[in-house]
Chain A
Amino acid sequence: MKHALVFLSLVFVSLLVVPANAQDVTATDNPRVVDFSAIDAWFAEPPTLEVNIDGVILRMLSRAAKESEPEVSSALARMQSIQVRSYDNTGAELAEQISSLSQQLEDQGWSRVVRVRDEGETVDVMLNATEDVISGISVFVFKPNEESVFVNIIGEISPEEIGRIGNALNISPLQQFDDYDFPES
């Protein structure tokens, strides 16, 4: 209960006080695309892991997996881009910045479907949907004194497919969602 109150207080404060360095992370032509350059600015060091799979390479992977991994191939064919960033944690205000980021996405029409707050660790899963079809997923993971992971996938994808894609492509920040129980709603 105490944690919930602290969290609610933080959310309330974050609504009132926008951090000075909070930039619009959806300031791109496509509101489903998270602008990772804005997130980069939160950190003194470059990301420890950066994955950008889109366009030609995404379509090629889909075609290449068609025979051996038909489900993965189908999921990749429905996607437009996969972006992943992982950073070493720095800055006491990082949790607040991530909370602010989730709020910005909600303001842009995204829905927050998962919010976990557990001993300082946070997980947010956001969906962007048009006419009952999911067209974007963003996942933000914050582990104090460890790392922060940001995932933005554009295209028709269900949350359950995140782990499957992670396994097929060997992207460990996505693999951790393989056994994650997403709410059915």
Chain B
Amino acid sequence: MTYPRLISTPLLVLLIAVTSSGCFGSQELSRVQAQFERDHPDAQFQRDVSISAGPLTLSSILQLTRLGEVSRLQPLVRSIEGVKLGVYSIEGELASKRYTPDFLDQLMNRGWVITVRHMNPPEQSWLLYNARGEQVRDFYIVRLDEDQLVVVRLRGNMERIIATILSENDWNVDARALTLIP
């Protein structure tokens, strides 16, 4: 039986592409990395990508995406208010335990809701959202497998983001995996 992938490769590429002009470090991502290093003492997490982009960077990207093929990404980029992305390659052995990292528990204590939890070590993933009234404003997606840790925090108009992904037929299954959200 296969389970929903919480983040697809095309999406990762997209996120990297649309935010690479505004790269800078993020304390939040560093804390997340430190947490996983504590949870998995026999594994080393090497940061490959660390991106944090806010409205300013994203508006620059909007300009870039006016041209050619990528213009169809405009509605998606316009719906995103901020994105943080961390991609880490993993060396060594992950602890073989099903668990939810403390920082996600802390988010839940602050009102975040966990909607998908897939725990089949070494592959584990978690999807949380945060809502204000009827608007889902933030997603937190964490995916861990034996080779890679991916952490994504996405802020924006989630309804429009998901509607855009669903309407893009050629994104098809992988993109839908993000919507599930699972």
Interface residues of A (CB under 8 A from B): 45-53, 56-57, 59-61, 63-69, 86, 147, 168-173, 176
B129-182 with Cβ < 8 A to chain A: 129, 131, 134-136, 158-160, 162-163, 166-167, 173, 176-177, 179-182
Q: Would B98 and A45 count as touching, CB distance under 8 A?
A: yes
B interface residues, Cβ below 8 angstroms from A: 1-5, 98, 113-120, 129, 131, 134-136, 158-160, 162-163, 166-167, 173, 176-177, 179-182
Q: Determine how close the nearest CB of chain A comes to the CB of B137; give it in whole angstroms.
A: 10
Residue of A nearest to B124 (CB): A48
A56 to B129, alpha carbons, bound, how many Å? 10
Q: Which of B4, B120, B134, B176 contacts A172 (CB 8 A)?
A: B4
Also in contact, A53 and B115, with CB within 8 A (given A45-B98, A63-B159, A172-B3): yes
Contact at B119–A47, with CB atoms within 8 Å?
yes
Inter-subunit contact B177/A170 (CB<8 Å): yes
Q: Which residues of B contact A50 (CB under 8 A)?
A: 114, 116-119
Q: How distant is B88 from chain A, measured CB to nearest CB, in Å? A: 23
Are A52 and B115 in contact, CB atoms less than 8 angstroms apart?
yes
**Chain B residues, Cβ within 8 Å of A172:** 1-4
Report the Cα distance A147→B3, complex, angstroms: 13
Q: A171 touching B4 by the CB < 8 A rule?
A: yes
Q: Look across to chain A and name the residue whose beta carbon is closest to the beta carbon of B174.
A: A170
Q: Is A57 touching B166 in the complex (CB atoms < 8 A)?
A: no
| A61 close to B117 (CB less than 8 A) | no
Pick the most buried of A64, A65, A171: most chain B CB atoms within 10 A of its CB: A64
Most buried by B among A47, A48, A168, A170: A170
